[in-house]
Copies of this chain bind each other. A is one copy, B any other.
Amino acid sequence: MKEEKKVLTEKVIKRLTLYHCILIQYIESGLEFISSPQIAFLLGIDNSQVRKDIKAVNNTGKCKVGYNVRELKESIERTLGFKKNKDAFIIGAGNLGSALSKYDDFSNYGLNILAMFDSDPLKVGITINKKQIFHISKLPDLTRRLNVKIAILTVPRQSAQNCADFIINAGIKYIWNFSPVVLKVPEWVHVWNENLTSNFLQFIVNDEVRNDD
């Protein structure tokens, strides 16, 4: 029996991780059940939306009481693969790269930073939060030996494309790109553009939070 392969849209995944946060808070409060209207209220969304999302993680609830908090948390973790290790390298040991290497929350979701890379000889050899900084020239060898497919790109925008070319050539297939640059990559390489400021603008643009009001 072939395992059913479900495609979860980005919006569903974002909501599921928010449900997951809520569930952790419920568990800490000692609560055992949560209903779809409760989740919906906390997030300001529709309750049938919540039930549909929960259906997508193969969880069932009980009439009148709702969903078992621990079971639902497990279901979300299983569906989103929190327990499956996703190894990654950080490229660029600047401010953002260093901060991400110390960001322990990643490991709760199965994302492990194995090492960092930089071209600055002064940074090479330093260890940040148990992650060593290697010279970028060491990346091809380590990518192959450790079978790493994911790179977190936090280099200055001027060197982002060169860097991308280099790491793709070394075998990287997934680039989580923090540089505000649109990278040109082969069709078999996946890029996720994490433009933090863009995310911020999505938040405030329509509300016109300006200093001059």
Q: Measuring CB to CB, which residues of chain A are less than 8 angstroms from any residue of chain B?
A: 7-8, 10, 13-14, 17-18, 21-22, 25, 42-43, 80-81, 84-87, 95-96, 98-100, 102-103, 105-106, 108-109, 111, 147, 149-150, 157, 173-174, 176, 180-182, 184, 190, 192-212
Best-buried of A7, A21, A108, A181 by chain B (most CB within 10 Å): A21
Most interface-central of A197, A200, A207 (chain B CB within 10 A): A200
Contact of A180 with B105 at beta-carbon distance under 8 Å, contacts A200-B111, A205-B8 already known? yes
A8-B205, A43-B182 known; A198+B102 contact, CB < 8 A: no
Q: Which residues of B lie under 8 Å from residue A105 when comparing CB positions?
A: 157, 180, 196-197
Which chain B positions have C-beta within 8 A of A176? 200, 203
8 Å CB contact of A21 from B18, B181, B196, B208: B181
Compute how far the CA of A206 lies from the CA of B21 in the bound complex, rounded to whole angstroms: 21
B201 touches A80 (CB 8 A): yes
Partner of A17 from B25, B43, B198 at Cβ < 8 Å = B198
- The CA of A212 and the CA of B86, in the complex, are separated in Å by 9
Residue in B81, B85, B100, B195 whose beta carbon sits within 8 Å of that of A205 in the complex: B81
Residues of B within 8 A of A14 (CB): 195, 198-199, 202
What is the minimal beta-carbon distance from A50 to any residue of chain B, in angstroms?
A: 13
**Residue among A157, A192, A204 with max Cβ neighbours from chain B (10 Å):** A204
CA distance A194 to B84 in the complex (A): 22
Q: In the bound complex, how far is the Cα of B157 from the Cα of A101, in angstroms?
A: 18
CB distance from A103 to the nearest CB of B (A): 6
Closest to A7 in B: B206
**Cα-based distance from A81 to B180 in the complex (angstroms):** 17
Once the chains are docked, how many angstroms separate the CA of A18 from the CA of B108?
Answer: 30
